[in-house]
Amino acid sequence: MGELKTLEEHRCFGGVQGFYEHASAEIGLPMRFGVFAPPQAGPRPVLLCLAGLTCNEQTFAIKAGAQQHAAQHGLILVTPDTSPRGTGVAEADAHWDFGHGAGFYLDATREPYAKHWRMESWLMQELPAVLAQHFPVHADRVGITGHSMGGHGALSLALRHPGRFRSVSAFAPICAPTEVPWGHKAFAGYLGEDRSHWAQHDAVKLIESGARAPQLLVDQGLDDQFLAQQLAPERLQAACTAAGQPLTLRRHAGYDHGYFFIQSFVGEHVAHHAAALNG
């Protein structure tokens, strides 16, 4: 799978937090990701942590405070970047919620994005092989979590790839992207105007169409500035109830959209994943 470039490594809760880069064949450009390897020896389960808009491979690793919990439970944390970088696409830097830093964890089909914005293929096909080659991962024990755009990614990827993830959770996810402005902008830009293609990346639409995932754990702050216009957890709850998809949706008064909210509950999310991955 090619050479892995180590960008930096740091001792952390008895393990090692590192950041790495490899030449991605899927993306056609170098891609970066973080790995926290816990102190326990031998192959360990993996928790894939997807960050939100404007973020990169360091954001969740630095801000979430998840390493101490991963060390306790013996989980490897993987924090991928949120989009390709250095694409040369001029308009990719025109908006903070589209383009660079805003890959939405799908494979674009519309030009000029189709060549490099292949985040789903990178995450689901190429990155697992890179991890298996260079890190002591338990490749068949993988969970997925994410925040905001990354929460959308966690839900939609788990539903689109049944059997790949033993556990799923999200913080303040974009639950119904076909129905909110962030999703309209991203899906039109990456996929074109055919909304049947949009539905294939919308957690609510996927559940309504029969897709299923393991028990979903979703936390949502009630003082989240994006809750009313962008996130639509009530749509996810209604779809799961109607379809019989297991969901625990927890609403928290006083919490906003940021990483202080994530820090407050990330230990419970890691424990949720550990129960499934270490069992």
Active site residues: 148, 224, 257
* Residue from 176, 179, 157, 177 nearest 167 by CA: 157
* Residue from 152, 126, 151 nearest 64 by CA: 151
Look up residue 199 and give its DSSP letter: H
Q: How far apart are CA 62 and CA 67, in angstroms?
A: 9
List Cβ neighbours of 116 (8 Å cut-off, separation of 6 or more). 27, 28, 29, 84, 87, 89
Look up residue 38 and give its DSSP letter: P
* Residue from 130, 55, 38 nearest 97 by CA: 55
Q: Which two tokens stand for residue 207?
A: 């559940």
List Cβ neighbours of 229 (8 Å cut-off, separation of 6 or more). 180, 181
User: Number of C-alpha atoms within 13 angstroms, CB side, residue 119?
Assistant: 29
Q: Can you list the alpha helix ranges (DSSP code H) found in the chain? A: 59-63, 67-73, 119-121, 127-134, 149-160, 181-191, 195-199, 203-208, 233-243, 259-277
